[in-house]
Amino acid sequence: MTQSIRPLILAFGLVLAASSAHAACQVEYKAKRDKPLELYYDVTVVNAPCASAEAALRAQLAQQGLTLLKVLSKKEN
Protein backbone atom coordinates (compact mmCIF):
# COMPACT_ATOMS: atom_id res chain seq x y z
CA MET A 1 0.00 0.00 0.00
CA THR A 2 2.76 2.47 0.83
CA GLN A 3 4.32 1.78 -2.56
CA SER A 4 1.16 2.99 -4.31
CA ILE A 5 0.91 6.12 -2.14
CA ARG A 6 4.47 7.36 -2.76
CA PRO A 7 3.94 8.12 -6.48
CA LEU A 8 0.75 10.01 -5.61
CA ILE A 9 2.56 12.12 -3.02
CA LEU A 10 5.37 12.81 -5.47
CA ALA A 11 2.90 13.80 -8.20
CA PHE A 12 1.06 16.11 -5.80
CA GLY A 13 4.34 17.76 -4.81
CA LEU A 14 5.25 18.32 -8.46
CA VAL A 15 1.86 19.88 -9.17
CA LEU A 16 2.29 22.28 -6.25
CA ALA A 17 5.78 23.23 -7.38
CA ALA A 18 4.62 23.81 -10.95
CA SER A 19 1.67 25.95 -9.88
CA SER A 20 3.85 28.18 -7.72
CA ALA A 21 6.38 28.56 -10.54
CA HIS A 22 3.68 30.05 -12.76
CA ALA A 23 2.14 32.22 -10.08
CA ALA A 24 1.04 35.70 -10.97
CA CYS A 25 1.88 38.73 -8.91
CA GLN A 26 -0.35 41.69 -8.15
CA VAL A 27 1.73 44.87 -8.33
CA GLU A 28 0.84 48.37 -7.14
CA TYR A 29 3.00 50.95 -8.92
CA LYS A 30 3.61 54.52 -10.07
CA ALA A 31 4.68 55.31 -13.63
CA LYS A 32 5.07 58.31 -15.93
CA ARG A 33 4.95 59.31 -19.58
CA ASP A 34 6.95 62.34 -20.80
CA LYS A 35 5.96 65.08 -23.27
CA PRO A 36 3.49 66.01 -21.94
CA LEU A 37 4.12 64.77 -18.44
CA GLU A 38 1.48 62.28 -17.30
CA LEU A 39 1.64 60.45 -13.98
CA TYR A 40 -0.01 57.08 -13.40
CA TYR A 41 -0.92 55.07 -10.35
CA ASP A 42 -2.31 51.59 -10.92
CA VAL A 43 -2.59 48.04 -9.64
CA THR A 44 -2.09 45.28 -12.18
CA VAL A 45 -1.44 41.56 -12.34
CA VAL A 46 1.88 40.52 -13.86
CA ASN A 47 2.25 36.95 -15.10
CA ALA A 48 5.52 36.40 -13.26
CA PRO A 49 6.56 35.45 -9.74
CA CYS A 50 6.83 38.44 -7.41
CA ALA A 51 10.62 38.06 -7.30
CA SER A 52 10.83 39.03 -11.00
CA ALA A 53 7.61 41.05 -11.28
CA GLU A 54 9.35 44.43 -11.37
CA ALA A 55 11.36 43.56 -14.49
CA ALA A 56 8.28 42.09 -16.18
CA LEU A 57 6.21 45.16 -15.29
CA ARG A 58 8.96 47.51 -16.54
CA ALA A 59 8.93 45.73 -19.94
CA GLN A 60 5.12 45.74 -20.07
CA LEU A 61 4.97 49.47 -19.33
CA ALA A 62 7.70 50.28 -21.86
CA GLN A 63 5.50 48.80 -24.59
CA GLN A 64 2.90 51.41 -23.64
CA GLY A 65 5.45 54.25 -23.65
CA LEU A 66 5.53 54.45 -19.84
CA THR A 67 8.47 54.53 -17.43
CA LEU A 68 8.17 52.72 -14.10
CA LEU A 69 8.88 55.10 -11.24
CA LYS A 70 8.25 52.99 -8.16
CA VAL A 71 6.77 49.66 -7.12
CA LEU A 72 4.66 50.33 -4.03
CA SER A 73 3.70 46.76 -3.18
CA LYS A 74 3.70 43.20 -4.51
CA LYS A 75 1.38 40.35 -3.57
CA GLU A 76 1.26 36.77 -4.86
CA ASN A 77 -1.99 35.90 -6.61
CA 10 to chain centre: 27
H or E element in which residue 21 lies: helix 2-21
More confident residue, 58 or 12: 58
The whole-number pLDDT of residue 47 equals 94
- Residue 28, pLDDT > 80, answer yes
- Residue 42, pLDDT > 90, answer yes
Phi/psi at 67 (nearest 5 deg)? -115, 125
Report the Cα–Cα distance between both ends of the chain, in Å, rounded.
Answer: 37
- Can the peptide bond before residue 36 be classed as cis, meaning omega within 30 degrees of 0? yes
> What global pTM score does this model have?
0.69
The whole-number pLDDT of residue 3 equals 57
Mean pLDDT calculated for residue range 12-30: 68
